[in-house]
Structure 1
Amino acid sequence: MWLKTAKKNSASTLNLRLSAIKSFLKYCSEENIELTSYYLDISSIHAFKTSKDSCIEFLSQEQLKLLFSIPDTSTRIERRNCFFMILMYETGGRLQEILDPTLNSIIRDESRVKIILHGKGNKTRSVPLLGQTVRHFDAYLKEFHKQRIRTDYLFYTVHDSTHTKMKQGTVDYFLKKYGSLAKERNEKFPSGLHAHMLKHSIAMAMYKKGIPISYIRDFLGHKSIDTTTVYSHADEEMLTKALESVNDVVNSLPAIKKHWKGNEQYLIALCGLD
Structure 2
Amino acid sequence: MPAVEALIRAPGQHTGRGLRDTTIILLIFDAATRVQEILDLTPADIDTTPGRGRVTLTGKGRKTRTIPIMDNTCRHLDQYLNAFHPGTPEPDVCLASGAAFMDSLEVVCAQVFENGPVGEHVPDRRDQ
Normalising by the smaller structure, the TM-score range is 0.7 to 0.9
The alpha carbon displacement at 1:131 in A equals 2.3
The alpha carbon displacement at 1:119 in A equals 0.8
Q: Which residue of 2 aligns with 1:101?
A: 41
Residue among 156, 162, 175 paired with 2:105 = 175
Q: Aligned partners of 1:81, 1:116: CA distance in 2, in Å?
A: 20
The alpha carbon displacement at 1:109 in A equals 5.4
Matched, 1:144 2:75: no
Identity of aligned residues (%): 27
Q: Which residue of 2 aligns with 1:186?
A: 117
Q: Which residue of 1 aligns with 2:6?
A: 66
The structure showing larger relative contact order (alpha-carbon pairs under 8 Å, at least 6 residues apart) is 2
The alpha carbon displacement at 1:75 in A equals 0.9
The alpha carbon displacement at 1:108 in A equals 5.6
Counterpart secondary structure, 2:18: helix
Q: Aligned partners of 1:170, 1:71: CA distance in 2, in Å?
A: 14
Matched, 1:118 2:22: no
Provide runs of 4+ in structure 1 moved above 6 Å.
none
Q: Which residue of 2 aligns with 1:135?
A: 75
Counterpart secondary structure, 1:181: helix
The alpha carbon displacement at 1:111 in A equals 4.4
Q: Name the CA shift for 1:120/1:184 in 2 (closer, same or farther; >3 Å).
A: same
- AA at the equivalent of 2:18: E
Aligned length: 121
- AA at the equivalent of 1:68: I
- AA at the equivalent of 1:75: T
Q: Aligned partners of 1:170, 1:142: CA distance in 2, in Å?
A: 19
Give the number of the structure whose alpha-carbon radius of gyration is greater: 1
- Unpaired stretches in structure 2, ≥5 consecutive residues: none
Question: 1:103·1:148 contact (CA, 8 Å) conserved in 2?
Answer: no
Task: Calculate the TM-score normalised by the size of structure 2.
Answer: 0.80
Counterpart secondary structure, 1:97: helix
RMSD: 2.4
Q: Which residue of 1 aligns with 2:21?
A: 81
The alpha carbon displacement at 1:69 in A equals 1.7
Counterpart secondary structure, 1:125: strand
Question: 2:6·2:118 contact (CA, 8 Å) conserved in 1?
Answer: no
Q: Aligned partners of 2:50, 2:119: CA distance in 1, in Å?
A: 42
Q: Aligned partners of 1:146, 1:137: CA distance in 2, in Å?
A: 12
Q: Aligned partners of 1:146, 1:128: CA distance in 2, in Å?
A: 23
The alpha carbon displacement at 1:97 in A equals 0.8
